[in-house]
Amino acid sequence: MLDEIKVEFSDFTKIYFKDNKCLVASVSTGDCIFISKEIVDIFKRGESERFTFRELFDCVEDLDSRNLLRNMAEKLDNLNMWKYNEENITALRQNKISLDITNDCNLRCTHCCVSAGENGRGRELTTEELFTVIERIMYFNPGEISISGGEPMFRKDFVAITDKIRSLYSGNLTLMTNGTLIKDDETAAYLANNYDSFNLSLDGYDDESCSAIRGKGVFCAVIKSIKLLQKYTQKVSLSMVRTSDNSSSTDKFKALCESFNVYPVIRVFESVGRGEKLYKDLTLDRENDEKSIDWKRVEENFICNKFYNHKPQIFACQGALSEFQIDQKGDVYPCPLFMENEFKLFNILEVSDPKDYILSRRYVTSEGFKNFSKYMPYNIPKCKDCNKQLMCFSCAAGIRHHLYNNTLDKNCIENSNYFDLYWRDYEFV
């Protein structure tokens, strides 16, 4: 299959060396594999000579070595590490679009990352403008669309917007809501008939803990909404933003979710929007900050359980790749955690040829994309030459958080010893 294809690593493939071992990783899929430096060097030589795989294999006289090289080429092919794999990745990629149809809201949650309800994010689109946005979203070939806000159900044309989406899109549709406006069976039945899943925000396990963040009466309203929805669907989850003030309540929140047979979602606190003001009074929960780690025991456990046979987690941020956030003005961002103007990719209503612009990924030349790319681990000055850079992070927002709080070095110290274990030779075990 590979024989007539040029030997060329994908632009999404990153290669890291240490001694005679290489980590070959895809920042597009998160897949990775450790192989010998000698084999990678052979592939890199074939790439520089612009060989096809057949030409490269023919250069190897020893049959066993040739078969080993072919086997490794096919393994990398199965992991989509080659340049020609990029078309397959693009064709199979299920883009996830999050659409904020409003910034207005009936609540004023203290930690709201978009400061919903304050009218501070610019004008909102009319119904017809939103219809145009929805039509253009289809050029992304979305595998999932999430509707959010503000509170999306606070818009008077919410039903018309939902109907418009469903007239064009039959894929997975999720509603992100505070859950206070689902007040009767008719509303619950309509939602269950049009949405595939629901995420309701609660941020507490009882009336008192919920009221402290979301306001009085919200807890009971959300519980009522859950019961109404569950008459028609079981695809309901509840979310809680975790901070040092409520971290001890996580187990109680999970127990509440279990009692209502809903899936618990624990979200990371973000110091943006109203959360920036709240951040001054909060200390983020870091479970291991004050604990000394017994690295000898970590290593013994790593070897005993043969964790070296498992792939490490690899940084594969999908922002502006397969995930996009569109706000209530039609501005497109890499993800919900990068919604400042400096990260704006484009406005979906203002591009003259939206189909070409989206399909050709012309937004990668924007200043917003360039600013977003600064938070990739291979673009961070302190990280770019480290062979463990893709193991240390799972999200660009996490890197941004460490840089903002000057905790990047601390994160490195905490992770470095553990990730060193992956680079050792365990053939003797």
Q: Measured between alpha carbons, how far is 164 from 157 in angstroms, rounded to an integer?
A: 11
* Average pLDDT of span 55-59: 95
Name the least confident of 57-71, 174-188, 404-418. 404-418
> What is the sign, positive or negative, of the torsion defined by CA atoms of 213, 214, 218, 223?
negative
Determine the pLDDT at residue 266: 81
Q: What is the pLDDT of residues 79-113, one digit of tens each?
A: 999 999 988 777 767 899 999 999 889 887 777 76
pTM of the model: 0.83
Q: Which of 254, 160, 157 is nearest to 204 (CA)?
A: 254
Most confident among 213-222, 245-254, 262-271 (mean pLDDT): 213-222
Q: Measured between alpha carbons, how far is 149 from 250 in angstroms, rounded to an integer?
A: 25
In this prediction, residue 419 has a pLDDT band, given cuts at 50, 70 and 90, of confident
Across the beta sheet with 236-242, what order do the strands follow? Answer: 263-268, 236-242, 197-201, 172-177, 142-148, 95-100, 323-326, 331-333, 346-347
Q: What is the pLDDT of residues 273-300, one digit of tens each?
A: 544 544 444 444 444 444 556 778 878 8
Determine the pLDDT at residue 123: 78
In this prediction, residue 67 has a pLDDT band, given cuts at 50, 70 and 90, of very high
Q: Measured between alpha carbons, how far is 94 from 112 in angstroms, rounded to an integer?
A: 28
Q: What is the pLDDT of residues 152-180, one digit of tens each?
A: 999 999 999 999 999 999 999 999 999 99
Determine the pLDDT at residue 223: 95
pLDDT at 380 over 50: yes
Between β-strands 236-242 and 263-268, what pairing exists: parallel, antiparallel or unpaired? Answer: parallel
In this prediction, residue 429 has a pLDDT band, given cuts at 50, 70 and 90, of very low
Share of the chain above pLDDT 70, in %: 89
pLDDT at 148 over 90: yes
Q: Is the peptide bond before 368 cis (omega within 30 degrees of 0)?
A: no
The alpha carbon of 59 is separated from its chain's Cα centroid by a whole number of angstroms, namely: 42
* Average pLDDT of span 378-383: 92
Q: Helices in 138-249 by DSSP H: which ranges?
A: 158-168, 185-194, 207-214, 218-229
Determine the pLDDT at residue 286: 41
Q: Which position has the higher pLDDT, 117 or 228?
A: 228
Q: Measured between alpha carbons, how far is 267 from 325 in angstroms, rounded to an integer?
A: 17
Most confident among 242-256, 286-300, 371-385 (mean pLDDT): 371-385
DSSP at 164: H
Token reading at 312: 């490490």
Q: Measured between alpha carbons, how far is 144 from 325 in angstroms, rounded to an integer?
A: 12
Q: Which of 20, 61, 52, 14 is nearest to 38 (CA)?
A: 20
The alpha carbon of 106 is separated from its chain's Cα centroid by a whole number of angstroms, namely: 28
Q: How many CA atoms lie within 13 A of 72 on its CB side?
A: 21
Burial of 34 (0-12, 13-18, 19+ CB in 10 A): middle
Query: Which residues in 238-263 are b (16+ Cβ under 10 Å) and which e?
Result: bbbbbbebbbebeeebeebbeeeebe
Q: Measured between alpha carbons, how far is 35 from 23 in angstroms, rounded to an integer?
A: 7
Determine the pLDDT at residue 365: 96
Q: Measured between alpha carbons, how far is 217 from 215 in angstroms, rounded to an integer?
A: 7
In this prediction, residue 394 has a pLDDT band, given cuts at 50, 70 and 90, of confident
Query: Taking a C-beta distance cutoff of 8 angstroms, is the pair 95, 19 a contact?
Result: no
What is the separation, in whole angstroms, between the first and last Cα of the chain? Answer: 36
